[in-house]
Amino acid sequence: MILAGTDRSRVSENPGRIAPAIILVEPQLGDNIGAAARAMLNCGLTDLRLVRPRNGWPNANAEAMAAGASAVLERATVHETTKDAVGEFDLVLATTARERDMTKTVLTPKVAAERMKIHLARGGQVGVLFGPERAGLINDDVVLADAVINVPLNPAFSSLNLAQAVLLVGYEWYQISGVPALVSDWESAPPASVEEREYFFARLENELEIAGFLYPPNLAPTIRRNIRNMFNRSSLTDQEVRTLHGVLSALVNVKRDLKRAD
């Protein structure tokens, strides 16, 4: 059964910053981008970000498949890396149907929507990552996220196409988007953005590289992901990230002083 119905006299979209953004990483077909855009607008979502779309952008097939959701496509932005696409967000959720070799908080779409609602009501910014159609997100993308969204489906056949995945998450969001969030007092400091976290990780990894910690070389990428994942699970605030910068700077200065003394 096909459900159809549109009342263009009604406002069907949320102002950008009070709703989560949808980030499609390396989408392979314009048709799938268009179908995802249609699913977004069904659920009042309009902030679409594309990371390295395989067939380039703009894409005529996306426009045709969007079936009236061209407003989403017109606003879409294109990014070279996932990190660039999510840098401003202080809550990032990654959708995945596969188990990962990392420890992450796992949320259903319904619980994820509740968490997004509270976070946005507190003044935060949220992005939801969706991976390529064939294989999904790679670990380097998932590690940027604070938690993952997993849809409890038939374990023998749990894969979804891109538009289905976007619609499931968007539907749960839309069901509670008009319900006032029960917000406790905002933390003493707001959460750190991905960009702030990544700047600290870069500094830390540079010093660990100098110290020989990222060894052997073939395990260095896994070690880097584990470090990121460990910190990201703790939902660092911007004040905590500044404190960590101070700790790192103090350790580096002591090391340099000892070298000069020698």
CATH code, domain carrying 41:
3.40.1280.10
Are 71 and 168 part of one and the same domain? yes
pLDDT at 177: 85
- Residue 1 reports pLDDT greater than 80: no
Number of domains composing the chain: 2
Cα Rg of the chain, angstroms: 20
- C-alpha 250, offset from chain centre: 32
Are 167 and 252 part of one and the same domain? no
Lowest mean pLDDT among 61-65, 133-137, 210-214, 242-246: 133-137
Are 238 and 157 part of one and the same domain? no
In which band, very low, low, confident or very high, does the pLDDT at 186 lie, cut at 50, 70 and 90? low
d(CA 198, CA 192): 10
Are 35 and 100 part of one and the same domain? yes
Are 93 and 164 part of one and the same domain? yes
Residue 226, domain member (yes or no): yes
Are 49 and 134 part of one and the same domain? yes
d(CA 167, CA 178): 17
pLDDT, mean over the chain: 88
Q: Which domain holds residue 203?
A: 194-261
pLDDT at 97: 77
Question: Where does residue 100 fall: left (phi above 0), alpha (psi -120 to 50 degrees), or beta otherwise?
Answer: beta
Residue 7, domain member (yes or no): no
Are 145 and 203 part of one and the same domain? no
Residue 187, domain member (yes or no): no
